[in-house]
Structure 1
Amino acid sequence: MTSSVNYGLWYDFRNPAPWREDFEQFYASRLDQIAAAEELGFDSAWLTEHHFCDDGYTPSPLVLAAAIAARTRDMHIGTNLMLLPLHDPVRMAEDCATVSLLSGGRFDLGVGIGYRQLEFDQFGRQLSHRPSLVEEGIEVIRRSWSGKPVNFSGKRFTVGDLSVTPAPVHAPKILLGGMAPPAIERAARVADGFLCTGGLGIDNYCEALLSQGKTLEQGNVVMGCWAIIAEDPEAEARRIGDHILYQTNEYIKWGAFGPPEKATLFDDVFTAIENGLYQMWDADMAVAELSKLVRDYPLISDIHFWAQFPGESLESGNRRLRYIAEKVLPRLR
Structure 2
Amino acid sequence: MEVGIVQIMAGFGLQGVSDQQIYDEEVRQAVLADELGYEHVWVVEHHFEDYSFCPDNFVYLANIAARTKQIRLATGAVILPWNIQPLRVAEKAALLDTLSEGRLILGLGRGLSRREFGQFGVAMEESRERFDEMAPMILDALETGVMEEHHGRFFDQPRAPLQPRPFKSFRDRTAQVAMSSDSIDVAARLGVQMMSFFYKPNEVHRAEFDSYRATFQKQYGKAPKPPLLALMTVCDGDAARAKENAEKYCAVYFHSIVHHYEMMSDHFAKTKGYAEYGVGAEAMRAAGLEEMVKGYVNQQLWGTPDQILRKLEALRADIGDVGCLTAVRFGGSPYEVSERSLRLFAKEVLPVIREWGAPAAPRQAAE
Instruction: Indicate whether the TM-score tops 0.5.
Output: yes
Task: Say whether residues 1:271 and 2:294 are aligned partners.
Answer: yes
* Map of 1:247 onto structure 2: 253
1:97–1:171 Cα contact (<8 Å) kept: no
* In 2: Cα distance, 1:258 partner to 1:175 partner: 28
Cα deviation, 1:305-326, whole Å, max 9, x if unaligned, reads 0121132211111111121112
The range that moved more, 281-290 or 242-251, is 281-290
State the TM-score, normalizing by the size of structure 2. 0.79
Deviates more, 1:181-190 or 1:279-288: 279-288
Separation in structure 2 between the aligned mates of residue 274 and residue 91 of structure 1, nearest angstrom: 39
Offset, 1:232: 4.2
- What does the per-residue CA deviation read over 1:64-120, in whole Å, with 9 as the maximum and x for residues that have no partner? 111111111000111222211111211111111111111111111111111112221
Counterparts of residues 27-38 of structure 1 (less than 5 Å): 27-38=23-34
Distance of aligned partners of 1:221 and 1:228 in 2 relative to their CA distance in 1, 3 Å threshold: same
Q: Equivalent residue of 1:226, what SS?
A: strand
How many angstroms apart in 1 are the aligned matches of 2:77 and 2:34?
21
Q: Look up the match of 1:7.
A: 3
User: Shift of residue 299 of structure 1?
Assistant: 6.4
Give the letter aligned to residue 92 of structure 1.
Answer: V
Partner of 1:197: 197
Instruction: From the superposition, tell whether residues 270 and 53 of structure 1 become closer, same or farther in structure 2 (CA, over 3 Å).
Output: closer
The secondary structure found in structure 2 opposite 1:97 is helix
CA offset at residue 260 of structure 1?
A: 6.0
Q: Within 5 Å, which residues of 2 pair with 1:1-333?
A: 5-16=1-12, 18-55=14-51, 57-87=53-83, 88-145=85-142, 146-172=144-170, 173-198=173-198, 200=205, 201-212=208-219, 214-216=221-223, 218-233=224-239, 235-239=241-245, 241-255=247-261, 259=265, 262=281, 263-264=284-285, 266-267=289-290, 271-273=294-296, 277-291=299-313, 300=322, 302-333=323-354
What SS does the corresponding residue of 1:42 show, helix, strand or coil? coil
Aligned-partner Cα distance in 2 for 1:279–1:256: 25
Output the CA distance in 1 between the equivalents of 2:37 and 2:71: 9
Q: Distance in 2 between matches of 1:6 and 1:156?
A: 36
Aligned residue-pair number: 326
Any conservation in 1 of the 2:12–2:332 contact (CA below 8 Å)? yes
Answer yes or no: is the 8 Å Cα contact 1:238–1:269 preserved in 2. Answer: no
Provide the secondary structure at the position in 2 that maps to 1:105: coil
Contact kept in structure 1, 2:9 and 2:52, CA below 8 Å: yes
Question: How far does the alpha carbon of each residue in 1:111-141 deviate from its partner, in whole angstroms, 9 at most, with x for none?
Answer: 1111112221222322222222112111121
User: Which range moves more in the overlay, 321-330 or 23-32?
Assistant: 23-32
Q: In 2 relative to 1, CA 67–36 (structure 1 residues): closer, same or farther, beyond 3 Å?
A: same
What 5-or-longer segments of structure 1 have no aligned partner?
none
* Inter-partner Cα distance in structure 1 for 2:13 and 2:324: 30
Residues 1:11 and 1:20: Cα distance change in structure 2 (over 3 Å):
farther
RMSD (Å), alpha carbons: 2.8
Scaled by the length of structure 1, the TM-score of the pair is: 0.86
Secondary structure (helix, strand or coil) at the match of 1:32 reads helix
